[in-house]
Amino acid sequence: MRLAIYLAGLSWLLLTGGIAFAQSEPVKPAGIYTCVDSRGRNLTSDRPIADCLDREQRELNPSGTTRRKIEPNYTAKEQAERDERARQSALQALRINEERRRERALLVRYPNVTAHERERKEAIGQIDAVIQAARKRQTELLDERKNVDTELEFYKADPSKAPASIRRQIDDNAQSVAVQNRFIGEQEDEKRRVNARFDEERVRLRQLWTPDAGGTAK
């Protein structure tokens, strides 16, 4: 008899405890999902909306505020295209940032027209000095060739009798003249490149300089 009463009491405690536990557990409110479908309709449901699997959906709180955004389900091709667009956008942002960094560096280096033209003049002056030295060497080579030609006059009747040393001097002189001519041509090309670079910088800087610095205000 006592055992029966004990078991009955235990069953009652378990039953009432389970009910109390169930009542104390909070009930999570059902989600509210909303989207605009392909036909422009505003759809709402208590679960993710099948007609909007290919577009963004929003899960709302009971107050109507957005709890989270649900990204669309993309095919592998669509996801690859999205990734490529994101990559291109990131590259474009990097290019823009790099361009702005270069512009800031240009402004620091050339705060006004005078500073820019002064550096152009110095750069061109250095190249001109190198060209002048090469032209001086050309003149020296010309004088050397005249001296060799004077010696060669003795063998004018039969140049084949001229010593091998004279023929070597003539060949060496011709090669040296060719080297100087080529070098001067390269320096002239370099001068054109330097001028072109400064011209390009001048166009960019005119957009960055203030009017007082000799440019046009942006």
Mean pLDDT of 142-158: 89
> 21 lies in a domain?
no
What single letter denotes the amino acid at residue 189?
A: D
pLDDT at residue 26, as a whole number: 56
Better pLDDT: 23 or 55: 55
Mean pLDDT of 156-163: 83
Torsion angles phi and psi, residue 24, rounded to 5:
-80, -20
Q: For residues 191 and 124, what is the distance between their CA atoms, to the nearest angstrom?
A: 6
Torsion angles phi and psi, residue 41, rounded to 5:
-85, 140
Question: Percent of the chain at pLDDT above 90?
Answer: 61
Shared-domain flag, residues 87 and 117:
no
> 24 lies in a domain?
no
pLDDT at residue 21, as a whole number: 45
Mean pLDDT of 87-96: 95
pLDDT at residue 78, as a whole number: 84
**pLDDT over 80 at 210, yes or no:** yes
**pLDDT over 90 at 155, yes or no:** no
pTM of the model: 0.58
Better pLDDT: 14 or 161: 161
Mean pLDDT of 66-93: 90
Mean pLDDT score across all residues of the chain:
86
DSSP-based helix, strand, coil % in the chain, nearest 5:
70, 10, 20
Q: Which domain holds residue 186?
A: 112-213
Sort 209 into a burial class: Cβ within 10 Å, 0-12 / 13-18 / 19+: buried
Q: For residues 155 and 98, what is the distance between their CA atoms, to the nearest angstrom?
A: 69
> 200 lies in a domain?
yes
* Nearest of 218, 217, 215 to residue 202 by alpha carbon: 215
Total structural domains in the chain? Answer: 3
Shared-domain flag, residues 158 and 196:
yes
Shared-domain flag, residues 90 and 67:
no
